[in-house]
C-alpha cells in the first residue's frame, strides 16, 4: 500500500499486559503488524501492584494511572488525572485514533481525535449489556449503562464489529446509529508440526496417555463464558460413558476460578479436569490447541473470540452453543459444531463427534481452511480502510 506519508496510529484500550485476554491480543497484533508500515503508539493503563516491561515490545506504549476495582479482573484507568500521560499524548501527533474500548481510554482517544480533527475508529469487541447485567443485577440499569456506551460509539467516524451477528446486535438491539462495518479478527499463530517437542511436553506434564481424548478451554474463568456449564456437561459425559477416557484442560484464570475448582472437586473429576493456569508463551499455547481433539466453548457472552480462530489455526474444531454470536462465521458440522443450550445435549454432542471420526476429520480440515485468518493478511485491509477514512476526513 502506498501512502503519502508514514501514518502515526494511536491504539487505545482499557486493558493490556500483564493481563491476557482476547481484546489485548487483538490490540497487540494490530500494533505489531501495523508497525511494518506505520508508526504505532498504544495507550493503555498501568496495573497497580503489577509490573510489566514495556521495553520488550517493539512498539511504543504510553500508560496512564489506574486504580484497582474490588472483585474485578481489570483496573479503572484514570487518564484525566495523569498529567504526564496527557502531556505525552499531546506530543504524539497522531493521524488516526482506533479505540478498542468505550470506557476511560477509549473516551480519551475520541477527545484527542475531536480536538485535533483527525478520524477515530472503534472496534466493537464485546456484548457490554451482559457485563452490566452481571454487575448491577437490574435490567433497567444495565440498559442505561449500555446506552451510555452507545453514545460513545456514536461519536466515532466509523465503527467495526468483529462479525455480522455483533454488527446486528449493536445496531438492532443496542441502538447504534447505523449497521457497523464487519472486520473479523485473526491470529498470528501458524500450524504447529505433529512432531513438535511442545506436544510431548504437554503430554508428560499433564499425564495424557495415548488412548485419551483431549478437550480444551482457553480464556478467562468467568461464569459468563459458560465454564460452569462446561464442567456440568463433562460430568454428564463421564456418567453416561464410564469407559471413555478424556482430559479436559482449562488454560486461563479469572474471578470464578475458585468456584469452578470447587465444582470439579465436588464432582470428583480432578483426574479428568486439569487447571493449567495462564499460558503467556504463544508457541506453547499453540501446542495446547494442536494437542486438543476438540475446543469446547459454550459461551453466550463472547462476540467473536480470538480463541476459536487460534483453535482453527491448529485444525482443532470448536463446539459452540446455539444462539452464540461467536457462531456467525461457523457452519454446523462443516467447519465447527453447534448444539442447543442444554447440558446433556452438549455432552452427547461431544461423544457423537468423537464417534464419527470420518466426519470429524473433514471438519478439522474445513476449520483450518475456512476459519483461520492470519493477521499479516488482515492488516492490509485495515491499513487501506485507515487511509480511506483519513482521506475522507481531509476532504
Convert the pLDDT of each residue in 225-250 to its tens digit.
Answer: 999 999 999 999 999 999 999 999 99
Residue 102 to residues 98, 106, 245: CA-CA distances in angstroms?
A: 11, 5, 45
User: How many whole angstroms separate alpha carbon 293 and alpha carbon 290?
Assistant: 8
pLDDT for the residue 383: 96
Crossing angle between the packed helical segments 282-291 and 306-313, to the nearest 10 degrees = 70
- 76 has pLDDT over 80: yes
Q: Does the pLDDT of residue 74 top 90, yes or no?
A: no
Furthest CA-CA distance within the chain: 69
> Listing from the earlier edge strand, what are the strands of the sheet with 181-182?
60-64, 39-45, 8-12, 96-99, 120-124, 158-161, 181-182
Closest CA to 98 of 34, 145, 187, 163: 34
Q: Contact, 166 vs 124, CB < 8 A?
A: yes
Reported pTM = 0.85
| Ordered DSSP codes for 139-194 | HHHHHHHHHHHHHHHTTSSEEEESSHHHHHIIIIIS--SSPPEE----B---PPPT
| 170, 176 Cβ separation under 8 angstroms | yes
Mean pLDDT across 44-71:
92
Dihedral of CA atoms 232, 233, 238, 240 in degrees, nearest 10, equals 120
How does the average pLDDT of the chain come out, rounded? 94
Nearest CA-CA partner of 214 in 296, 270, 307, 286: 296
Alpha carbon distance 185, 301 (integer Å): 17
> Whose CA is closest to 150, among 129, 181, 120?
129
Q: Which pLDDT tens digit goes with each residue over 252-282? A: 999 899 999 999 999 999 999 999 999 989 9
* 122 membership: H or E segment, kind and range: strand 120-124
Give me the pLDDT at residue 127, please. Answer: 83
Give the CA dihedral 338, 340, 346, 351, nearest 10 degrees: -60
* Residue 184 burial (CB count, 10 A): 17
What's the pLDDT tens digit per position in 133-161?
877 888 888 889 889 999 999 999 999 99
Which pLDDT value is given to residue 1?
47
What pLDDT does residue 71 have?
64
Residue with cell 499524548: 89
Cα distances (Å, whole numbers) of residue 127 to 31, 144, 204, 335, 377: 24, 14, 38, 24, 26
Query: Exposure string (b/e) for 202-223, b if CB count within 10 Å is 16 or more?
Result: bbeeeebeeeebbbbbbbbbbe
Cell of 278: 495462564
Q: For the segment 377-386, what is each residue's pLDDT rounded down to a tens digit?
A: 999 999 999 9
Mean pLDDT of 27-41: 97
> Do residues 65 and 82 lie in contact, with contact meaning Cβ atoms separated by under 8 Å?
yes
Given a contact cutoff of 8 angstroms between Cβ atoms, the answer to whether 155 and 99 are in contact is no
> What domains are defined for the chain?
8-186+375-394 (3.40.50.2000), 197-371 (3.40.50.2000)
At 64, the pLDDT band (50, 70, 90 cuts) reads very high
Amino acid at each position: 500500500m502506498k501512502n503519502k506519508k508514514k501514518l502515526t496510529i494511536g491504539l487505545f484500550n482499557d486493558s493490556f499486559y500483564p493481563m491476557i485476554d482476547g481484546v489485548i491480543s487483538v490490540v497487540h497484533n494490530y500494533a505489531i503488524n501495523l508497525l511494518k508500515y506505520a508508526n504505532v503508539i498504544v495507550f493503555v493503563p498501568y496495573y497497580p501492584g503489577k509490573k510489566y516491561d514495556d521495553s520488550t515490545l517493539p512498539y511504543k506504549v504510553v500508560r496512564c494511572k489506574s486504580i484497582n476495582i474490588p472483585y474485578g479482573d481489570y483496573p479503572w484507568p484514570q487518564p484525566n488525572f495523569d498529567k504526564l500521560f496527557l502531556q505525552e499524548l499531546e506530543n504524539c501527533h497522531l493521524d488516526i485514533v482506533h479505540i478498542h474500548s468505550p470506557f476511560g481510554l477509549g473516551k480519551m482517544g475520541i477527545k484527542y481525535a475531536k480536538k485535533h480533527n483527525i478520524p477515530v475508529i472503534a472496534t466493537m469487541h464485546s456484548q457490554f449489556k451482559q457485563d452490566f447485567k452481571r454487575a448491577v443485577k437490574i435490567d433497567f440499569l444495565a440498559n442505561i449503562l449500555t446506552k451510555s456506551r452507545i453514545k460513545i460509539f456514536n461519536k466515532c467516524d466509523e465503527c467495526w464489529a468483529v462479525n455480522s451477528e455483533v454488527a446486528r446486535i449493536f445496531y438492532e438491539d443496542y441502538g447504534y446509529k447505523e449497521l457497523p462495518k464487519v472486520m473479523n479478527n485473526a491470529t498470528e499463530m501458524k500450524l504447529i508440526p505433529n512432531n513438535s517437542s511442545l506436544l510431548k511436553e504437554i503430554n508428560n506434564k499433564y499425564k495424557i496417555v495415548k488412548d485419551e481424548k483431549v478437550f480444551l478451554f482457553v480464556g478467562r474463568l468467568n461464569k459468563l463464558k459458560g465454564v460452569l456449564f462446561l464442567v456440568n456437561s463433562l460430568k454428564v459425559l463421564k456418567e453416561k460413558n464410564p469407559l471413555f477416557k478424556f482430559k479436559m484442560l482449562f488454560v486461563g484464570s479469572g474471578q470464578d476460578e475458585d468456584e469452578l475448582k470447587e465444582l470439579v472437586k465436588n464432582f470428583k473429576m480432578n483426574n479428568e479436569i486439569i487447571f493449567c493456569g495462564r499460558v503467556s508463551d504463544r508457541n506453547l499455547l499453540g501446542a495446547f490447541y494442536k494437542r486438543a481433539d476438540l475446543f469446547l466453548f459454550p459461551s453466550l457472552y463472547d462476540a467473536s473470540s480470538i480463541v476459536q480462530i487460534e483453535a482453527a489455526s491448529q485444525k482443532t474444531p470448536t463446539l459452540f452453543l446455539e444462539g452464540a454470536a461467536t457462531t456467525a462465521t461457523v457452519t454446523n458440522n462443516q467447519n465447527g459444531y453447534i448444539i442447543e443450550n442444554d447440558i446433556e445435549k452438549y455432552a452427547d454432542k461431544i461423544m457423537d463427534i468423537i464417534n464419527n471420526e470420518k466426519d470429524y476429520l473433514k471438519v478439522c480440515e474445513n476449520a483450518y481452511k475456512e476459519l483461520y485468518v492470519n493477521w499479516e493478511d488482515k492488516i492490509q485491509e485495515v491499513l487501506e480502510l485507515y487511509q480511506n477514512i483519513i482521506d475522507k476526513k481531509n476532504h
